[in-house]
Amino acid sequence: MKIPEINKIILLVGLMGSGKTSVGKRLARKLSLPFVDGDAEIEKAAGLSLVDVLKCFGEAEYRAGEERVMKRLLKGAPCVLASGGGSFVAEQTRALAKENALTVWLKADINTLYHRTAGRTRRPFLLGDNETVKHKLQEYITEEYPYYSEADIVVETRDERVEYTVRHVIAAINNYYRKSGKKTENKGKQKMKIKELVFASHNAGKIAEIKQILTPLGISVKSAADMNLPDVAETGTTFAENSLLKSQTIAKAVGLPCIADDSGLCVDALNGAPGVYSARYAPDRDFDKGMDKLLNQMEQSADKSRKAHFSCVVSLAFPNGEYKLFEGRVDGTIATAKMTGTEGFGYDPLFVPDGYNISFAQMEKSEKNKISHRGRAMQKFKDYLASL
């Protein structure tokens, strides 16, 4: 399937349970855009859960807060934005979306919505017994669907795998641009030879690796360490967000293109932990202790799966705010005890990539680089540079 090059906000709207978050996350990955969860942003701004915001401040204040958050996000950088439940009803939000976003309505029928939302306690507007929930959903459909119908694109969703819905959304976006004769909004996107760039890292190993990759391409690399730049705090909740925080801050500050990466280990039985917190998860940043902690937590988890993956997002940011993301992932299992070797760092002794019976720590560097999350993200980055 053709993946459109999008450099604008894709706003997903729809009722609770329509799949905005799960579809949004995968769609963002496919489009190489960061994913932003509107509800999570409201919780972050308020410092409270959605249920508590509603309890403490009432619906009017909840909606006002939601409008403020949506305004900030809809004036922000390109991303896939999952809007909070009814936020598209607000006139200001719809007007801003028309100006700055391509809006996709994930339209689901009442039965699909009901099955997906029944029994969930995170959604403050859908609490109550089954009959109450069904009744409330019907009311929302009657009240809000007329607003959602103003979206640029409508995609009907039903009980199907998220990947299929994502495919339908991408096909609908391609169709929209084909029919409307509009370009895919990537006009002016940076497509020029890069001669010099900054690497947002103080890690000597990573710096050497990047220089080795980029120097043969005629690109001169300076690291944040070479330029005495301070560390940028990783305050995001996704790898893409953290990676972009670093590259965009430095690109703006020094007026040169900048690349950054963020990576970590996600363990299924721990609901994706330690994830973006992989470095901080290890007590005293000691990965020997970090691995013991991980094995202990897995031991205590009711979920006995050993599946895990490493993820890495490399971002390239330009001083004018434009950027590209390159994502890499490697799937594998967590060994029941450390499989220490002569190579690797971090959680490598515990990670056995799929198709192997040795850990990353027992694998030659060059072998690991071929299949690793960072190696794969860097390969995409190299392919991009070669295409310029």
Query: Any catalytic annotation for residue 331?
Result: no
> Of these residues, 262, 331, 354, 383, which one is catalytic?
262
Q: How many residues bind ligand IMP (CB under 6 A)?
A: 15
Residues 290-319 interacting with ligand IMP (rule: CB under 6 A): 310
Least distance in angstroms from the C-beta of 277 to ligand IMP: 9
E strands, 215-306, where? 220-223, 258-267
Q: Which of 37, 241, 262, 268 binds ligand IMP (CB under 6 A)?
A: 262
Print the binding letters for residues 202-241 with ligand IMP: x by CB under 6 A, - otherwise. Answer: ----------------------------------------
Question: 């694109």: which residue's tokens?
Answer: 153
CB atoms within 10 A of CB 193: 9
Residues 348-377 interacting with ligand IMP (rule: CB under 6 A): 348, 360, 372
Rounded Cα distance between 266 and 347, Å, is: 11
Answer whether 247's CB lies under 8 Å from 254's CB. Answer: no
Counting contacts by CB under 6 A, is residue 264 touching ligand IMP? Answer: yes
Counting contacts by CB under 6 A, is residue 261 touching ligand IMP? Answer: yes
Toward ligand IMP, which CB reaches closer, 38 or 332? 332
Rounded Cα distance between 147 and 141, Å, is: 10
The two three-digit tokens of residue 332, written as one number:
């594998």
E strands, the chain, where? 9-13, 35-37, 80-82, 101-108, 153-157, 196-199, 220-223, 258-267, 307-317, 323-334, 351-353
Least distance in angstroms from the C-beta of 278 to ligand IMP: 3
Q: Which of 140, 323, 347, 381 binds ligand IMP (CB under 6 A)?
A: 347
What 8-state DSSP symbol labels residue 81? E
Least distance in angstroms from the C-beta of 310 to ligand IMP: 6
Q: Which residues contact 9 (CB under 8 A, 6 or more apart)?
A: 73, 74, 76, 78, 79, 80, 81, 100, 101, 102
Toward ligand IMP, which CB reaches closer, 35 or 310? 310
Counting contacts by CB under 6 A, is residue 279 touching ligand IMP? Answer: yes
**Binding segment for ligand IMP among 10-18, 110-118, 170-178, 340-348 (CB under 6 A)?**
340-348
Torsion angle of the four alpha carbons 295, 236, 309, 386, in this order, in degrees rounded to the nearest 10: -150
List residues binding ligand IMP (CB under 6 A).
Answer: 261-265, 278-279, 287, 310, 345-348, 360, 372
Residues known to be catalytic: 262
